[in-house]
Amino acid sequence: MDVSKRGIVEEALKEKRRFRRIRLNLGGKVYFPDTAEEVPCRVEDISVGGAFLHCKFRRHPGRQAIAYLGELGRFQGRITAINKDAFTIEFTCSEQKRHKLADQLTIEINRHLLARKTAA
């Protein structure tokens, strides 16, 4: 195994998350059902299992949130961690919705390749 492949494998082994996250700069909004408040947010990274969202509203772990993430759609879940002006949400969705999100994220990852093909 060459050095670059070994580095990818080592990184994957260090990652303790169930699903691989990808960096994605995408705007949206998040709704908190317990207080009926809605605020703008920005996705920093996302996987089919959850996302790291920046917003100016502090929440507490264990609370429910509903995120509307642009063209990716609506995701409901539980807040699992908080940080200054950010939190992590673990999605609670069906397998079908996870597969659809996986397809959408694959397109996002490869968008630069798609743009090259249409330009040619």
Burial bucket for residue 86 (CB in 10 Å: 0-12, 13-18, 19+): middle
Number of independent structural domains in the chain: 1
Query: Quick check: pTM over 0.85?
Result: no
CA atoms of 118 and 120, how far apart (whole Å): 6
Chain centre distance of CA 107: 14
Q: Does residue 6 lie within any of the structural domains?
A: no
Whether 43 is in a domain gets the answer yes
Indicate whether 104 belongs to any domain: yes
Structure tokens at 94: 């069906």
DSSP β-bridge partners for residue 69: 73
Least confident span in 2-6, 29-33, 48-52, 116-120: 2-6
Range of the domain at 48: 19-119
What pLDDT score does 112 carry? Answer: 66
Predicted confidence (pLDDT) per residue in 67-92, tens digit: 999 989 999 999 999 988 899 999 99
Residue 64 lies in a domain: yes
Is 39 domain-assigned?
Answer: yes
**Nearest Cα to Cα of residue 85 among 119, 105, 58:** 58
Residue 67 belongs to domain with CATH number = 2.40.10.220
Q: Is 61 part of any domain?
A: yes
Give the Å distances, CA to CA, from 5 to 14, 41, 71, 103: 14, 35, 33, 24
* Residue 88 one-letter amino acid: T
